[in-house]
Structure 1
Amino acid sequence: MVDGPVVTVRGEAYREVAPEEARFAVTALARDREREPTLTRLAERAAAIRVLLDSYGPTIDRRETGDLRVRPETRRSGERVVAWHGSVVTTVTVSDFTALGELMLRLADQDQVAVAGPWWSLRPDSPAYREARHAAIADALLRAREYAEALDARVTDLIELADEGGGQPMMARMSFDAGGVESTAVPELELDPQPQSVHAAVRARFAITRPVLS
């Protein structure tokens, strides 16, 4: 129980910072009337993607393969299989954006490969989040002092501080789709990383001295 006047304020902070990571997805595709050739082509195209990614070495921070799909295509009536479709997705994460455009275009230049992304983001432990939280607390304290000053009072103590969360950074996406068209040279692509919006908010209660209301 607080004995004395209390002021409750909300502190907020907004920041726009450069992204720290970029993710994109590479999908190898295959289709044939028979299942075995479909699986063989899918494995070969997935292996070609791995070889290309391996050539970039430490430029790639992380890659994860998932969402393997193999399904039959049937006629509208009945269960007769007329073709087999296969796909496998590899998600790639990089923090060095220097060769990102080149890498994505080289992957898109592969036979029957689709590329989607990049999705820009901050690392979960990015200092930008901590800096925004600190700024939100400073904003709350400043507001409390301004309210107290308007009453000829002053802030004396912190009673309660609650984190009200903040918005997640926005992510942008672009996509490429390669249908097996061969080219002699991969064109250059410059990507402009999308600034990430960081928001932090707190609710704080401060004790203040007795106001002068005369």
Structure 2
Amino acid sequence: MTETPTSAPHPSHGTPTAPRVTVRGEAHLEVDPEIAHITITLTARNTDRRTTLDDLTRRNTTILDLIKSHGDTVEKLETGTLTIRPELARHGRGERIRAYHGSIQLTATLSDFTTLGELVARLADQELTRVDGPWWALRPTSPHHAAARRQAVHEALQRAREYAEALDTRIGALLELSDTGTTGGPAFATAAYGGAGALRSAHVETATDAAPVDLEPVRQNVDAQVEAAFTLIPPNL
């Protein structure tokens, strides 16, 4: 049986017959966001625990229906923490409960930013409702991440060729390619709508919906870094 000869592995460091060059490639892209997240906090307060829970449940149903009415532009809708807590009286003896406070936190992810401005305004116009955000982002599967990685590899290859050209030679084989980091920078802006001073009374009725909030998306930073090692054709020095 004849064995197929295998080539000897390249050493981890260069040799006179196989010089090694190690370079770094970097890429920085600034792109428009693809999605935005908002957080909606619903609250209720009453001296009766069951009434507090009923009010909170009613508001939660109203807000869920409002968000879902925007169809496929809402990519994700999640319920977070639900809290019902007693408020104890500050004075007097014993553990006398003064009131019950309830809250529910929702998180919505949208891809249509025109719809986002409309939804934020309508949510902030609801009773005892607070809206925080938006937090702008790229999807984890965004093609911008792959584009940044390709650009970083191309830059590493170009650097290696430039070093080889400076030695009047050319690169031979790729020995190693390491991804040292690909990130989508935390570029976001936040705002709060609603709050204690701006919450609508349960008795106030509006004839028309609130005007949409004009939101300017914050561009996102995508960075990629690679390290690449190549052999060089031995130059004549």
Q: TM-score, normalised by structure 2?
A: 0.84
Q: Which one of the candidate residues 206, 219, 222 is aligned to 1:195?
A: 219
**C-alpha contact 1:154 1:208 (8 A) present in aligned 2:** yes
Tell whether 2:160 aligns with 1:144: yes
Query: Deviation digits for residues 148-168 of structure 1, max 9, x if unmatched?
Result: 111222111100000001333
> What is the distance in 1 between the residues matched to 2:179 and 2:95?
57
CA RMSD of aligned residues (A): 1.6
Equivalent residue for 2:80?
66
Report the CA distance between 1:55 and its aligned residue: 2.0
Answer with 148-157 or 114-123: which moved more: 148-157
Report the CA distance between 1:112 and its aligned residue: 0.2
Q: TM-score, normalised by structure 1?
A: 0.93
> What is the distance in 2 between the residues matched to 1:5 and 1:76?
79
Equivalent residue for 2:114?
98
Equivalent residue for 1:123?
139
Query: Deviation digits for residues 157-201 of structure 1, max 9, x if unmatched?
Result: 100000001333322212111411544441232111111100000
Equivalent residue for 2:6?
none
Percent identical among aligned pairs is 46
Q: Which one of the candidate residues 27, 30, 40 is aligned to 1:26?
A: 40
Query: Deviation digits for residues 72-99 of structure 1, max 9, x if unmatched?
Result: 1124575332111111011111111122
Unmatched 5+ residue regions in structure 1?
A: none
Q: Look up the equivalent residue of 1:121 and give its one-letter code.
A: A
**C-alpha contact 1:9 1:144 (8 A) present in aligned 2:** yes
Q: Look up the equivalent residue of 1:152 and give its one-letter code.
A: D
> What is the distance in 2 between the residues matched to 1:204 and 1:79?
68
> What is the distance in 2 between the residues matched to 1:32 and 1:119?
32
> What is the distance in 1 between the residues matched to 2:26 and 2:81?
40
Answer with 11-20 or 174-183: which moved more: 174-183
Report the CA distance between 1:36 and its aligned residue: 1.2
Unmatched 5+ residue regions in structure 2?
A: 1-9
**C-alpha contact 1:122 1:169 (8 A) present in aligned 2:** no
Q: Look up the equivalent residue of 2:222 and give its one-letter code.
A: V
Match of 1:98, SS state, is helix
- When Rg is computed on C-alpha atoms for both structures, the one with the higher figure is 2
